[in-house]
């Protein structure tokens, strides 16, 4: 929960056949294929982040 993870949690998830995991690390990840779905970053989108501000946030993260 809440994106807390470490090497042990990732190892346990792999052992019980989870194919992926998410984090609360802000970011965008481009996938060329679905072979690695682990430690996927996310966007924190709140109710006050609408329209052009969301697009601006995505563009800023893409440029990093």
- Using an 8 Å Cβ cutoff, are 24 and 3 in contact? yes
DSSP state of 18: -
**Cα 45 to the center of its chain, rounded Å:** 12
- What is the predicted pLDDT for the residue at 1? 59
**Cα 58 to the center of its chain, rounded Å:** 13
Q: What is the pLDDT of residues 5-54, one digit of tens each?
A: 888 988 999 999 998 888 888 898 888 888 889 888 888 888 898 899 99
pTM: 0.69
- What is the predicted pLDDT for the residue at 55? 93
> Please, which residues have CB within 8 angstroms of residue 26's CB and are 6 or more apart in sequence?
41, 42, 43, 44, 61
């Amino acid at each position: 929960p809440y994106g807390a993870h470490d090497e042990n949690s990732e190892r346990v998830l792999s052992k019980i056949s989870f194919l992926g995991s998410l984090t609360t690390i802000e970011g965008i990840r481009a996938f060329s294929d679905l072979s690695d779905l682990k430690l996927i970053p996310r966007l924190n989108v709140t109710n006050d982040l609408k329209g052009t501000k969301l697009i601006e946030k995505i563009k800023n993260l893409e440029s990093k």
